[in-house]
Chain A
């Protein structure tokens, strides 16, 4: 964590020059000068300048866990919305079920929600996702909310510490997709508490000690309930 990197940058802003610095994610180069290509926060790691976006669609990366909503089922695949610019394709070979031809709707239908993994992103940005991995499945019950994909890390906390604490105090099951979607399952009061905690995380400006503050908030809430 570098503090000098905490600077909001806007598209077209000059960030540095090659070779003193190197262009990273969210930057572009013209005449050896490095510019920001989008609204975000500048971060320098080992000479590489990255922009952590503050806004924008989810940019899929192979291996990401995402929460998808099925748009349509066809004979040998499904099209799934994962909050990216493009819908993702889920092929029948990429699900853990034996599916007869044209029987796709029996397993997943329009409006169903799945926890999936990004399988491939090709040059023309054609996306494929898979359910063939442990911990991937169709989500049933609970509640689904969306958040700005850029606050993903803040929501899960260091090594999932934030999510673990929230789960502990609310007795809810929580799955966080990197694509800006959270699935929460539990009783109504528990879900309400999770929503309050998450909106607090989104609002809080200072990340230092945020996990402790959220724990404090949930503890107090737990007492109030009793």
Chain B
């Protein structure tokens, strides 16, 4: 475990009292954000996000499998995070510890609960075959604020994901193909999907060839995280700030300015006023980050 020198802790809080941070940023200010998409060839979608020195890679894999019995016509998504020892001297190999599980679940909720992926459009044959979407988050370099980096990487990766129907079509029988064609007709009406996901083979007209097409998505909420050090609320904490933080609050807001997910972490507490302050900062920063995200996917 990293031991924080008391001097560093005191210096960060002393600076905060003067309205300053160790890297010269304002309390609400993020470090530079870079998003690079399509970085993994083998993945159906991928993105590498850098926030300052923090780097997170997210890859999306898809497969065909059975739906849950209670939701026979919806696709299935799952999210996992690996805190690989590559990213920090304090990360250990082995099964995911609670930090990695919390991160994966918060990213998962941000996507699932606001129905960013239109899972109901990922049904092939009701009750039998649906698309499975696996979101895998790989931490590459840990310098604080993994929540925002991971959720942004997941969104950028999902927004550039192509449903790999061309690879899977051979696994579908006649019934599945007919059912899937009907589903495709629905998906094709989704705004934003402008390339034809299927076409017919003119030569013998018996075989349907199908192109990969973008994952059906809606405008996602953006997560912004602040930490509390003494009585100060700082956004996008770097590692030195994060390890002395008392409390952490993540707020995901959508493009209409509504709140879509929240998560409070660590053993400190927030007052109602502080929570309002975080929401305000999350809205302001969320707008800026949304622009960067849209730019990265060529929108």
Q: Which residues of A contact B (CB under 8 A)?
A: 69-71, 81, 110-113, 139-144, 183, 188, 192
Given contacts A188-B15, A188-B18, A143 and B3 within 8 Å (CB-CB) = no
A188 in contact with B20 (CB, 8 Å): yes
Taking the closest CB of chain B, its distance from the CB of A184, in whole angstroms, is 9
Contact with A along B1-13 (1 / 0, CB 8 A): 0011111111100
Which residues of A have CB within 8 Å of B5? 69, 111-113, 144
CA distance A66 to B245 in the complex (A): 28
| Interface SS of B by simple majority | helix
Contact of B3 among A69, A141, A183, A188 (CB under 8 A): A69
A141 in contact with B7 (CB, 8 Å): yes
B20 in contact with A71 (CB, 8 Å): no
A81 in contact with B7 (CB, 8 Å): no
* 19 new A-B contacts at CB < 8 Å, known A70-B3, A141-B10: A69-B5, A110-B3, A111-B3, A111-B5, A111-B6, A111-B9, A112-B5, A112-B6, A113-B5, A113-B6, A113-B7, A141-B7, A142-B11, A144-B8, A144-B11, A183-B7, A188-B18, A188-B20, A192-B24
Which residues of B have CB within 8 Å of A70? 3
Most A CB atoms within 10 A — which of B7, B9, B15, B20? B7
Which residue on A lies nearest to B22, using beta carbons?
A143
CA distance A207 to B22 in the complex (A): 28
7 A–B contact pairs at CB < 8 A?
A70-B3, A111-B6, A112-B5, A112-B6, A139-B7, A143-B8, A188-B14
We find that the number of chain B residues with CB closer than 8 angstroms to chain A is 14
A144 in contact with B7 (CB, 8 Å): yes
Which residues of A have CB within 8 Å of B24? 192
Given contacts A142-B11, A143-B11, A111 and B4 within 8 Å (CB-CB) = yes
B3 in contact with A71 (CB, 8 Å): yes
CA distance A203 to B297 in the complex (A): 35
Which residues of B have CB within 8 Å of A142? 7, 11
Which residue on A lies nearest to B23, using beta carbons?
A195
CA distance A75 to B92 in the complex (A): 30
Which residues of A have CB within 8 Å of B7? 113, 139-144, 183
CA distance A112 to B7 in the complex (A): 7
Taking the closest CB of chain A, its distance from the CB of B153, in whole angstroms, is 28
Given contacts A143-B8, A188-B20, A81 and B3 within 8 Å (CB-CB) = yes
CA distance A141 to B15 in the complex (A): 12
CA distance A81 to B3 in the complex (A): 9
Which residues of B have CB within 8 Å of A143? 7-8, 11
**Smallest CB-CB A-B distances: 9 pairs:** A111-B6, A143-B11, A69-B5, A144-B7, A113-B7, A113-B5, A144-B5, A144-B8, A71-B3
